[in-house]
Amino acid sequence: MSNQERQQEIMAILRLKKEVKPCDLCLMLHSSLSTVRRDLIQLEKDGQIKRSYGKISLKQLAHTEPVFQQRQRQNRQAKQQMAEIASDFIGNGQTVFLDSSTSVHLLVPFLRDKQDIVIITNGLATAAQLNTETNNRVFFVGGELTPGLGGASGGLAEAFLLPFTIDVAFFSCRGIDPNFAYEANNQHAHFKQQVMDVSQQSILLCDATKFSTRYFYKLAQLTAFSAVITNQAPVDEHYLTASEAQPEFYW
């Protein structure tokens, strides 16, 4: 993970947790204390964080752009490529789930020509765009919104899923290795696991920057997904051969 990527992850963690100790960041980022300290020094110089009494928090800015908008701009071409591939997995008449990630959000324009589908999403931005860009039925999952990320999760969101049987569900994640997909937020990970339980197929969208990146929470084994869609061939062949039940990779 590059310095820039690691610093972006520190900022994402702080938006979720509000404040954190450097030693906790080491565990979450799988990095040494000296490496994390260098990142914190740089972020403090840039005016993005403040350090006080051994804890790190975000520096409050008057006009802070929401996290979702920031992520929309990252690797946008790769995300559009993945979304186009993912759209081929959706057939007319199906019930489809879209998670709240920016990768899956870019599937919305590809749904315009799909007929008689039912779309379920926990993504606030995704639901808003679907409201104006499709005549298909759309269900927005209620629940607790994660600040800045625009995704509902928690017990209410999980209960909402109970009446549904989903044909194909689309997810992104924060990192993968040859065996697991990882999330940075436990509540979001648990919600996605519940969606997978009621879905016939689960498709993972993961661009190449997330390969060989681990986080504290395991979302699922890669073998739980029917397919993994990325933007380029994995450099490490173990992603393709780690298990006899390994999902098909598409790029």
Strands in 217-221's sheet, in edge-to-edge order, are 175-176, 180-183, 217-221
Burial 28-39 (b: 16+ CB within 10 A, else e): bbebeeebbeeb
251 residues of the chain, pLDDT tens digit each = 788 788 888 988 888 887 899 999 999 999 999 999 999 998 888 778 888 888 999 876 444 444 677 777 788 899 999 999 999 999 999 999 999 999 999 999 999 999 999 999 999 999 999 999 999 999 999 999 877 778 999 999 999 999 999 999 999 999 999 999 999 888 999 999 999 999 999 999 999 999 988 887 899 999 999 999 999 999 898 899 888 899 999 99
Distance CA 207, CA 184 (A): 16
Distance CA 187, CA 184 (A): 9
CB 197 within 8 A of CB 226: no
Model-level pTM greater than 0.85?
Answer: no
Report the half-sphere exposure of 112 (CA within 13 A, side-chain side): 7
**Matching residue, tokens 């006009």:** 63
Residue 29: name the closest of 49, 50, 7, 47 by CA. Answer: 7
| Phi/psi of residue 195, nearest 5 degrees | -65, -45
Q: Show the domains of the chain with their CATH numbers.
A: 3-58 (1.10.10.10), 69-250 (3.40.50.1360)
How many other C-beta atoms can be found within 10 angstroms of the C-beta atom of residue 13?
20
Q: What sign has the CA pseudo-torsion 97, 114, 229, 77?
A: negative
